[in-house]
């Protein structure tokens, strides 16, 4: 593969060192958490190195907790530890709030891991316009090996099935959901190395007079029975996605 710069460039390749012309690659080499999917312009990011102050937390009792953890991390030394109680339907979550964003195509990316449990993982996005709530949501089931999305009526629909994922406390899977807030449609879901087209699938839209803002929730739910543990790291929100 050719390396270096064109003959007319003012920088030349050395014997063992080559220039970096891509600023995204330069940022990645300097320790940025934006390394999985580099599309869009960053609107919000959090690597949890400074705690959970950017997040509202909720854990249903008895048994649920949400804490900062050094047990594992995708980057740095900390992540969010989201732990549920033991009963079916119990959940714990972290939730971030942002001002009303520039509309268009927005991306929502995060990384997550689990050890021995079967957490029911979901990403939920709500944009409040002042007259409507625009809702997007996806979830993954370890019990049924499926990714589902919430349709325009709030009903969960299968996006793909038969997706078995390896577990491991230090094995972080990566997810990025892109939605179009102009057309109120899903665009695509990237799940590790696989990309699933969601073009044309409508988001949920319901009447709602909540003051305009954006809300993002990462939820861990008990699908069957038993305490469920989920680790979350490196949340990134982007706009100007293509």
DSSP 3-state assignment of 221?
strand
Cα-to-chain-centroid distance, residue 66: 17
The pLDDT score that the predictor gives to residue 42 is 92
Return the structure tokens found at 68.
């900062």
Comparing 22 with 112, which gets the higher pLDDT?
112
d(CA 179, CA 149) in angstroms, rounded, equals: 12
- Residue 231 confidence (pLDDT) above 90: yes
Distances (CA, A) of 186 to 2, 33, 116, 189: 39, 24, 32, 9
d(CA 164, CA 204) in angstroms, rounded, equals: 28
Long-range own/partner contacts, residues 188-193 (CB < 8 A, 24 or more apart) = 189/138, 189/147, 189/149, 189/159, 190/37, 191/140, 191/147, 191/163, 192/165
Q: What is the mean pLDDT of residues 9-31?
A: 59
H helix runs in 15-121, sequence order = 23-29
Contact 188, 198 (CB under 8 A): yes
The pLDDT score that the predictor gives to residue 16 is 57
- Residue 214 confidence (pLDDT) above 50: yes
Domains detected in the chain: 36-239 (2.60.120.200)
Question: How does pLDDT run across 118-133, given as a tens digit for each residue?
Answer: 899 999 999 999 999 9
Model confidence at 7, pLDDT cuts 50, 70, 90, reads: low
Name the residue among 240, 185, 189 with its Cα closest to residue 42: 240
Rg of the chain taking only CA atoms, in angstroms:
19
- For strands 91-98 and 41-46, give the pairing: unpaired
- Residue 3 confidence (pLDDT) above 70: no
Predicted model pTM: 0.88
- Degrees (nearest 5) of the Cα angle 128, 133, 134? 100
Return the structure tokens found at 221.
């739910």
Question: How does pLDDT run across 156-178, given as a tens digit for each residue?
Answer: 999 999 999 999 999 999 999 99
- Residue % of the chain over a pLDDT of 90: 81
């Amino acid at each position: 593969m050719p390396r270096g710069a064109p003959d007319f460039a003012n920088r030349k390749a050395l014997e063992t060192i080559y220039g970096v012309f891509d600023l995204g690659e330069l940022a990645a080499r300097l320790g940025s958490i934006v390394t999985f999917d580099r599309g869009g312009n960053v609107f919000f990011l959090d690597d949890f190195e400074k705690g959970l102050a950017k997040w509202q937390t909720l854990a249903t009792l008895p048994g649920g907790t949400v804490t900062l953890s050094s047990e594992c991390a995708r980057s740095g030394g900390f992540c969010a530890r989201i732990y549920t109680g033991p009963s079916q339907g119990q959940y714990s979550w972290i939730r971030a709030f942002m001002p009303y964003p520039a509309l268009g195509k927005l991306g929502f990316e995060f990384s997550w891991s689990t050890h021995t449990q079967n957490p029911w993982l979901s990403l939920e996005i709500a944009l409040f316009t002042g007259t409507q709530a625009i809702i997007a949501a996806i979830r993954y089931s370890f019990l049924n090996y499926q990714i589902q999305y919430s349709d325009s009526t709030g009903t969960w629909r299968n996006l793909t099935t038969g997706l078995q994922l390896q577990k491991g406390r230090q094995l972080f899977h990566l997810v990025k959901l892109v939605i179009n807030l102009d057309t109120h449609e899903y665009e695509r879901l990237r799940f590790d190395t696989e990309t699933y087209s969601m073009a044309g699938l409508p988001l949920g839209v319901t009447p709602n007079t909540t003051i305009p803002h954006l809300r993002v929730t990462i939820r861990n739910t008990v699908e069957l029975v038993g305490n469920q543990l989920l680790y979350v790291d490196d949340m990134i929100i982007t706009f100007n996605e293509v």
